[in-house]
Amino acid sequence: MNLIIDVGNSFVKLAVFKGGKLKYKERVKLEDVLVHVRALNKKHDSIKKAIIASVGRLKSVDVKAISKLFDVLVLDSKTKLPFKNKYKTPKTLGVDRIALVCGSINRFPHENALIIDAGTCITYDFITSNNAYLGGAISPGLGMRYKSLNNLTANLPLLESEVPNDIIGNSTNDSIHSGVVNGILKEIDGVINTYKIKYPDLTVILTGGDAKFLSKQLKSSIFANSNFLLEGLNYILQFNTNA
């Protein structure tokens, strides 16, 4: 069994996989990660290997402690990957984006795929059917857009995401919801359609914290999977184990 440790800025996702199947997952606070990892080690004594992907700040002392419990792979730009990385600055490519691309290779092998991660930022990552990663785009996410309207203006309120009633907002709140949500939906649909002009057989994957909220409103045909990044990390660990 494998332990997946996905470290964000404030929270950590922990997941246990048996082969390619997700058996357990939880989200914990960054400062509590070691306590929960040790508890999982006691509960699942068949866990032998672990992978750590950190876009946040996991202390080196915690990494060392986890490494005493399992055979640990720390994901970085030097990790052996199942694709050709044609990104011009490979050292700056986020480990979360690497994991999503690997999730696509695992789930949709030999397909042109666009992976859209709707989280704090919206990231777009494209991989060809012959496993060449070409890059993508980074855009402000749903929450970031709401916050920027509040932070960078004098009078606009901070709102929680809400499905707009109409394209025409007849109040300030409705206008914000229409601008933010419809703006993101038009952006995502537009990006997908642009890719499809060049790659008509495109497979589109939507994941991330806002995937559920957005997926039902998008016009484009997509594959939605909230666990896609975790699956990608597990695949990387399996790939390096078998290499």
* Burial (CB count <10 Å: 0-12, 13-18, 19+), residue 147: middle
161 near 210, Cβ under 8 Å? yes
**96, 174, 189, 210: which is the annotated catalytic residue?**
96
Has 13 been labeled as part of a binding site? yes
Has 16 been labeled as part of a binding site? no
Mark out the alpha helices in 5-118 (DSSP H runs). 33-43, 60-69, 95-107
Characterise 122 by phi-psi region: left (phi > 0), alpha (psi -120 to 50), beta (else).
Answer: beta
Token representation of residue 96:
């979360």
Has 83 been labeled as part of a binding site? no
**Cα dihedral 28→119→233→195 (10° resolution):** 170
Has 10 been labeled as part of a binding site? yes
Has 175 been labeled as part of a binding site? no
Distance CA 155, CA 172 (A): 10
Has 37 been labeled as part of a binding site? no
125 is catalytic: no
* Burial (CB count <10 Å: 0-12, 13-18, 19+), residue 191: buried
Has 11 been labeled as part of a binding site? yes
**What is the helix (H) or strand (E) element at residue 50, kind and residue range?**
strand 49-54
Tokens 């039902």 label which residue?
216
Has 9 been labeled as part of a binding site? yes
Has 57 been labeled as part of a binding site? no
Mark out the alpha helices in the chain (DSSP H runs). 33-43, 60-69, 95-107, 142-151, 172-177, 183-198, 211-215, 228-242
Distance CA 112, CA 132 (A): 9
Has 87 been labeled as part of a binding site? yes
Has 117 been labeled as part of a binding site? yes
Has 6 been labeled as part of a binding site? yes
Has 129 been labeled as part of a binding site? no
Extract the annotated binding site for substrate.
Answer: 87, 94-97, 172
Extract the annotated binding site for K(+).
Answer: 117
Extract the annotated binding site for ATP.
Answer: 6-13, 120
Extract the annotated binding site.
Answer: 6-13, 87, 94-97, 117, 120, 172
Q: Catalytic amino acids?
A: 96
